[in-house]
Structure 1
Amino acid sequence: MLLPFLIVGGLGLVLLVISLLLGDIFDHFDIGDGAISGTALAVGLVVFGAAGALTVTWGLDLVWAYVLAAVLAVVAYLLSAVAVRSLTRSSDGVPASALGLTGVAKSDVSSSGGEVSLDGPGEIERRLAWSDAPIAEGARIRVIEHAGTRVKVVAD
């Protein structure tokens, strides 16, 4: 009675470890255009196994063990898929556009470089900057161009 839940939960645990160590395995096969997450599937399988095993040990009928385990597994899968997708989008490595943002020069800025602090959402660090005309430290600036994480600025 307990064995199917232990097998499914163990399989989920193995898949979870593989996903955490090697990345999401379903990304390599392009299954469902990213609709299936190996990490979320592994979480669902682990929850199915654990919920089913606990339900059986509590003495509920086997039918209810499968029903409860399946419902909890689907909920765990959906929550995990949303979390994985959200984390994937937020860590894509592409800096947010800073065009039009204003800020302050934290060092002298010239064509050879400098540092600025921008007043924008998510702008908590300094950025490397350059400018065609020299800008003194402490001057207000505006971003007119974006190149990777560096910004081209003008005096505002």
Structure 2
Amino acid sequence: MLLPFLIAGGVGLVLLLVSLVLGDLLDHFEIGDGAISSTALAVGLVVFGAAGALTISIGLDLVWAYVLAAVLAVVAYALSVLAVRSLTRSSDGTPQSAIGLTGVAKSDVSSAGGEVSLDGPGEIERRLAYSDSPIAEGARIRVVEHAGTRVKVAAD
């Protein structure tokens, strides 16, 4: 009696872990404009399994375990879809260019690397940087190129 709920919860947990590590697997298929999400599906399966197992453990009939688990799973799925959509809309996905920003070298910067702190909006962390010519720690810098997570800087 308990086995179907444990299997559903286990599959949901594995799918949730895979979705957290690899991203939303169903997102690549453009199904229903985000209405089907592997993350939300995983949450629904986990809730279904947990609700069913808990309902059986407190002594309710098997039919009520399935009904309660299904209702809670649908609610959890719907709330998860809304949360995933909200988070997707809130992130623009395109990093802002740092070219032209100024800042300070937080370590010696060379062609091998270094760290800088930039004076731009949203720049709250240090960035990995490199430079064609050596720049001493504490020197003012200007970003001349943006390459992924690193910036190429020159003395300002």
Q: Could you tell me the TM-score, scaled by structure 2's length?
A: 0.60
1:11 corresponds in structure 2 to 8
Query: Gaps (5+ residues) in structure 1?
Result: none
- 3-state secondary structure, aligned to 2:115: strand
Q: Does 1:107 align with 2:108?
A: yes
Equivalent residues of 1:9, 1:47 under 8 A apart = no
Give the aligned partner of residue 151 of structure 2.
151
State the 1:107 CA deviation: 1.3
Q: Structure 2 unaligned runs (5+)?
A: none
Number of residue equivalences: 147
Partner SS, residue 108 of structure 2: coil
User: CA RMSD for the aligned pairs?
Assistant: 4.1
Q: Contact (CA 8 Å) 1:107, 1:136: kept in 2 or not?
A: yes
Q: TM-score, normalised by structure 1?
A: 0.60
Contact 2:103 2:141 in 1 (8 A): yes
Q: Deviations over 1:58-88 (max 9, x none)?
A: 355777655543443234334545369859x
In the alignment, the residues of structure 2 paired with residue 145 and residue 57 of structure 1 have an alpha-carbon distance, to the nearest angstrom, of 61
Alignment partners' CA distance in 2, 1:36 and 1:12: 18
Q: Which moved more, 1:16-25 or 1:48-57?
A: 16-25
% identity of equivalent residues: 61
SS of 2:72 mapped into structure 1: helix
Secondary structure of the residue aligned to 1:36 is coil
Q: In structure 1, give the amino acid aligned to 2:17.
A: L
Q: Is the 8 A contact 1:47 1:73 kept in 2?
A: yes
2:131 is matched with which residue? 130
Q: Residues of 2 paired with 1:113 and 1:50: CA distance?
A: 52
Kindly provide the CA deviation profile for residues 17-59 of structure 1, in whole angstroms up to 9, marking residues without a partner as x. 2563585542454433443222321221221232134234435
